[in-house]
Structure 1
Amino acid sequence: MEKQKRGRFKRKRLSWWISSVSLFFVFLIIFFIVDGTIFEPNLNDSDHIAGKAADWLEESKLFNSWFAPFHFAWFNLATLLCIIVLLVNAIADIFSLKRNKQH
């Protein structure tokens, strides 16, 4: 019975990884297509919080020189956040695999 639960868990984790990485690559392709074209989002530079966040992000050295695979800073932020989420999940899975092997 426990082997069936482990098998289901492994299949769920594998399907999660396949769908997550596939979605990440789909978004990367969309970002590369949209980046530098007329389809790039136009940010509102009003006094709203979104406008202030857009100003901060556009002036940020982190997303304009250090981590800048795209010209549009919001795409850089989204890419970095996706990478962080995938890395955190990878680390969590590695530790859970080690814990399961010890038991």
Structure 2
Amino acid sequence: MNPEKSIFSKIIDREIPSDIVYEDDKCIVINDINPKARVHLLVIPKKPLETLFELSPEDKDLMGHMMLLLPQLARAQGLDGFKTQINTGESGGQEVFHIHIHLLGK
């Protein structure tokens, strides 16, 4: 794991300002600064996992929590459908090495 904090860890720690949509003890949700849709949220776990390759059985509750949060966030944004995306690894298009789920909707 990279010892340097990711931009998302800095957002979680309030070192960098961000447009926070939702937060609880497990994750934070922000508006993407470069949206690809009318609604483009990033669901970010507070646990600093770099990629899906790092997940272990102990992370199933965290990942389940984030997945169950997605439809709630979509409804709160007025969406009746949405798309999700998780990029994993450099060749998978991941730019920030801290797991995050993109929620996109029209």
The interval holding the TM-score normalised by the smaller chain is under 0.3
Question: RCO greater where, 1 or 2, for CA within 8 Å and sep 6 or more?
Answer: 2
TM-score normalised by L of structure 2: 0.27
TM-score normalised by L of structure 1: 0.28
Q: Which has the higher helix share?
A: 1
Larger radius of gyration: 1
